[in-house]
Amino acid sequence: MIKIRNLHKKFNPGTANEVYALRGVDLDVCEGDFVTIIGTNGSGKSTLLNAVAGAFLPDEGSILIDDHEVTKKPDYKRAEYLARVFQNPFSGTASAISIAENLHIASLRGHKSYPKKGLNAARLQFYRDKVAVLEMQLEDRLNDTIGTLSGGQRQALSLLMAVINPPRVLLLDEHTAALDPKSAAQVIKLTKKFIEQGRLTTLMVTHSMQQALELGNRTIMMNKGQIIDDIGLDEKKQLTVDDLLNKFIQIRKQEQLTPELLAELKQMYA
C-alpha cells in the first residue's frame, strides 16, 4: 500500500538551524498493516509521517500510496488516499462549525464540494448513528459547535472523522499524547476498533513503548533520520518494554562509539 524509497529531507539547509531530518528512508507497508513507529526525540518519526501526509515536499526520494505517485502532490491533493489525526485535538476539528458539519466535511474528503445542501435529514441520522458508537453521549448535540467539547471528546471525533469515509491509509501522529490517561485509553480503544472494523492500513507514531508493543502487527524503530529496526508480529509478542528500552540504550552507546574512537580502542586493547 505504501512504498517509500530513499527519502531525504533537510530543514533550513545552509543555515545555523539546519536539521537533516530524514536520511534515506526506505519503507514498504502492505495493505492491512498496522505499523507503530517509535524513536527518540528528533529521530524523524513525526517527519516521516508528515512526509507521507504531504505537509512538505521531500528533497529526494519517492512516495507511492496504493501505487499512485504522490511525491510532488500538496497535502489536499493526497487527501483522497489518506486521513490524518493530529496530536493537537484543536487541529483536527473546526471550532466555529457544528459537530454534524464537521463530520459532513470529513465525509466529503476526497470529493469536490458543490453548492448543494448535502447535509439533509438522512445524512444527519447517519451521523447520529456513527457518533453513538463513541459512547460519549454526543449524538444529541450534533448541532452544537465543537468549541464546547473537551480535548478527549474532540480527539475522539477527529478519529471518527478520519475513518467515516474509509481512507486507504490512516496516519495517527501521537494522537493520545495530549490527553489525560482516561481519555487516552478511550481513544486507543476506539482506534483499535475502527482499524479492525475497516481493516485500515495504519501508520501510528507513538511515544509510548507500551502502545507500540500492544498495538499493530509491526513496529519500526527510528533514530537520527533512519529506520534502524523493523520488528514483526512474532518478535513483538515476545518483547517487553524493558527489551525495547535496552535496544535504545545499545544504540546510544554505539553512537558514542565513533569510528575514530573505535580505532583508538582497538589500538589500545588489541
Partner 1 sequence: MELWIGALNLGFLYALMAMGIYITFRIHDFADITVDGSFTSGASVAAIIIVSGGHPAIALLGAFGAGLLAGTVTALIHTKLNINSLLAGILVMTGLYSINLHIMGRSNIPLLSEVTVFTQIARFNPGLPQEIWYTLVLTGCIIIGWWLVSLFFKTDLGIAMRVTGNNSTMAGAVGQNIKYLTLLGVALANGLVALSGSLVAQYQGFADIGMGIGTVVIGLASVIIGESIIKSRSVYWRFLSVIIGSVIFRFMIAFALYIGMNPIDLKLLTAIFVLLTLIVSKMIANKPVNRESSRKILGNLRKALLNRWSAAILIIVILVAGSFLKFNPGKSPSDIKIGLVQFTDNGLLNVTRDSFLEEIHKIGYIDKKNCRIYIENAQGEIPILNTIIDKFLRDDVNLILTISTSATQAAINKVKDRPVIFATVANPFIIGAGTSDSVHIANVTGVYGGVPMDRMLEMVNRFFPDRLRIGCIWDPSQANVVFNVDNLRRELRNYEHYQFEGANAVNSSEVYQAALSLVNKNIGAFVLPPDNIIYSAFDAVVRVADSRNIPIFISDVERLEDGALLALGYDYTSSGIQAAHIVDRVLKGTSPAQIPFEKYTKLTIGVNLNVARKIGIKVPQDVLKKATMMIGDNPTNGIATKRLALFQFSDHSMMEECARGVLDELTASGILKKNNIIVERKNAQNEFTLGQSIAQDIVRRKYDYIITLSTPALQIMAQVNKQIPHVFGAVTDPYRMGVARSPAEHLPQLTGVATMQPVEEGFKVMRKLLPHAKKVGMVWNPSEACSEACTMKAREAAREYGFELVEANVTSTSEVMDALNSVLDRGVDIFFTSGDNTVLIAIESIGEVLKKHKIPYFGNTPSDIYRGGLISVGADYYNVGREVARVMEKIIAGAEPKDIPIQDCVPVQIGVNLVLAQEIGLKLPESFLKRVAVIKRS
Q: Strand order of the sheet with strand 34-39?
A: 82-85, 169-173, 201-205, 34-39, 218-223, 226-231
**15 with 59: CB under 8 angstroms?**
no
Query: Shortest gap between Cβ of 228 and partner 1 (angstroms)?
Result: 29
Query: Shortest gap between Cβ of 214 and partner 1 (angstroms)?
Result: 27
Binding site for partner 1 (CB under 8 A): 53, 74-77, 79-80, 83-84, 86, 90-98, 101-102, 104-106, 108-111, 113-119, 140-141, 144-145, 161
From 54, 53, 71, select the one nearest 62 (Cα to Cα).
Answer: 71
- Nearer CB in complex with partner 1: 9/84: 84
Q: Give 23's strand partners.
A: 8
Give the span between the Cα atoms of 88 and 97, in whole angstroms. 18
Query: Shortest gap between Cβ of 158 and partner 1 (angstroms)?
Result: 9
- Nearer CB in complex with partner 1: 137/254: 137
- Nearer CB in complex with partner 1: 33/173: 173
Give the span between the Cα atoms of 106 and 161, in whole angstroms. 5
- Nearer CB in complex with partner 1: 110/151: 110
- Nearer CB in complex with partner 1: 141/224: 141
DSSP 148: G
Query: Shortest gap between Cβ of 95 and partner 1 (angstroms)?
Result: 6
Give the span between the Cα atoms of 185 and 164, in whole angstroms. 21
- Nearer CB in complex with partner 1: 55/239: 55
Give the span between the Cα atoms of 19 and 17, in whole angstroms. 6
Query: Shortest gap between Cβ of 164 and partner 1 (angstroms)?
Result: 11
Instruction: Give the largest Cα separation in the chain, rounded.
Output: 80
Q: Which residues have a Cβ under 8 Å from the Cβ of 207 and sit 6 or more positions away?
A: 38, 174, 177
Query: Shortest gap between Cβ of 71 and partner 1 (angstroms)?
Result: 17
